[in-house]
Structure 1
Amino acid sequence: MIRDWSGERQARELRHWPTLVYLAERVARSEHLDALIVIGSFAKGHADEASDLDLLIAVSEGRFPEAWDRRRELETRDALVAWDFRPEPHKLIGTRKFLTRDMIKVELQLSDASAAGAVLAEPHHVLIGEDSITERYAQVEPIPPEVLSEYAQRIRDEGLVPEVESRYSELMEAIRRAR
């Protein structure tokens, strides 16, 4: 069911794989979700046991309100905690985040095809849905790590990051340093 991509073999070996399969099944069965796209370290083929699972979900045209109302249905049944990141609620874009009992942070960005601000950088891979779905998004160059770090710091400084997410990030950084 999940379309092959260059990082799949590596992903199958990680603890994230059952969560990814679960999410793919949820998206494939949905009438209001068009595609599941892997981004971030999994798309780059650089994921490890301390990686987040970053995914973009393309919502069917005009169905964002329904998809957003039903976002909890995408969480695994064992989710320890979940939260939203939607700083501009008037836009048809938002991120549902949750932490599984296996300590996997999942970030699901949901966006309508017409959502202003919905962008897609390389690398990315469509796992469920048509490849042409990527044409809905403004295509941008890969985002340099330092730009991502600056953005993450800015939203922390603005109080937009809950404590559980900050502490989780600190834990994963400590794990990487200890290796």
Structure 2
Amino acid sequence: MIMDEASKMNRLVKELLDLSKIESGSFKLDKTAFNLSSLIESVLDKYQPVLVEKGIKVELDIPEYLTVNGDAVRIEQVLVNYLVNAINHTDDKKEIRIQAVIQNEKVRVSIYNSGEKIPDKSLDKIWTSFYKVDKARTRSYGGTGLGLSVVKAIQDLHGNSCGVENLEDGVLFWFEVDR
């Protein structure tokens, strides 16, 4: 239990430091061209044991080779935040879909999970530090309420958009990366 709590505190401190550096303007991106398809598959590989344990099916709809330009480490952080949220909020259908679509000079990556919609009054607030839609449920899996504010800050640094949409049977988070 102590190790679990220490791990949660470590994650909280790292997220706070990242957010602080980004917001202070002292954080610099390391932009390079990289294969987004490989990055997505690598993140999925890391989380495969959790997905199998929870019985979650992941449908992947991405081009085989998709070159983008950005800070690969920070884009991975965005992907991980979205994927962890999808894992933690999926319902009994246990479905996650990841899609990457080329839209002019951008690539839009979306991660959908079957599950409860985010209340309309919370849709704009979820990007705020420490905001949690369901505090009791978030506490059960160790969420800090910082993940989406970190995503927003990273996307702002890249000059790209991110967002969320309630769908009929779940929630879809998306972000853009430069081609």
TM-score (norm 1): 0.34
Q: Which has the higher helix share?
A: 2
TM-score (norm 2): 0.34
